[in-house]
Structure 1
Amino acid sequence: MRERPPPVPDRDSAEWWERLARREFAVQRCDSCDTPRFPPRAFCPACHREGARWEAVEPVGTVESWIVNHQAFTPGGTPGGAEPYVVVMVRLAAVPRCLVHGNWRGDREPRGGQAVRGVYTPLSDGLMLLDWRPAAR
């Protein structure tokens, strides 16, 4: 199997990747209007100003939607190399306006509104991904 290229941190996401590698999930919060934002970016979507601080939040939420992907979109495929795979979009409990995508690590297909918890998945290059699994009841 071919080696999958790692995610490439950029100016706006570098600190997020560093925090994730330490198993800390964080979102940005605008310095001007206090609006939380994810994914990380330079300007606030609400007030359009620069400046943000990082805020650690629990990686928990609910499944907003999901798809079954039958094709690898990067060389080497998905972590673990299995196709098809499920990708979920999760609405964060701590920041309901923020949606986070990730691979599904549940035994069954997810359901809309299902409670989920983040799972840290290390990559061989020292980076970490955040995947999702059903929350324990």
Structure 2
Amino acid sequence: MRPVFQVTTDRDSAAWWERTGRGEFAVQRCEACGRARFPARTFCAACQAERWHWEAAEPEGTVESWIVNHQAFGTGDGEPYVVVMVRPAAVPDCLLHGGWLAAREPVGGERVRGVFTPGAGGLTLVDWEPAGE
């Protein structure tokens, strides 16, 4: 069973959540140095420039790590559930977490694709499933 995650937007992430709500995976790209980044931030961590734009990307990557949680932390949380850390192909120096949608445990280095799923508060989350299944 998939857990119910509570997520809130902030000034930097609001546009990300709007895009996921439309089924779009996007990253920010710095207009000064060209570095792609995630999560969304006001300025580039590499060069501190404040000029950037959103760039659509494929919701795909590889499994970096995961946990199998055996304790429910909120209402509606199923036990056990798996949370994966994925290295997005579009931003290989970042990690993005999400729920695991397969019936088996993930494998390190496994190719995955993002699936947009409704979350609490009307936000759409990016969860992950094996790319080849």
TM-score, normalised with respect to structure 2: 0.89
Matches within 5 A, 1:16-27: 16-27=16-27
Q: Say which SS state the counterpart of residue 121 (structure 1) adopts.
A: strand
Deviation at 1:105, TM superposition (A): 0.5
User: How many pairs were matched up?
Assistant: 130
CA deviations on 1:64-116 (whole Å, 9 max, x unpaired) are 1111122334x325xxx312211111111222122111011111100000010
Structure 1 residue 62 displacement after superposition: 0.6
CA contact (8 A) 2:38 2:91 kept: no
Asked if 1:45 corresponds to 2:41, the answer is no
Structure 2 residue 92 is matched with structure 1 residue 96? yes
1:85 partner amino acid: Y
CA distance in 1, matches of 2:71, 2:47: 38
**Aligned-pair RMSD on alpha carbons?**
1.7
Counterpart residue identity of residue 46, structure 1? A
AA partner of residue 65 (structure 2): S
TM-score by length of 1: 0.87
Separation in 1, partners of 2:129, 2:111: 9
Partner of residue 131, structure 2: 135
User: What is aligned with 1:56?
Assistant: 56
Structure 2, unmatched stretches of 5+, are: none
Separation in 2, partners of 1:76, 1:68:
18
SS of residue matched to 2:18: helix
How many angstroms does 1:124 deviate by? Answer: 5.5
Gaps of 5+ in 1: none
The worse-fitting range, judged by mean Cα deviation, of 112-121 and 95-104 is 95-104
Are positions 1:31 and 2:31 aligned together?
yes
Identity among equivalent positions (%) equals 63
Moved beyond 2 Å, runs of 4+:
70-73, 123-126
In 2, Cα distance between equivalents of 1:76 and 1:41: 30
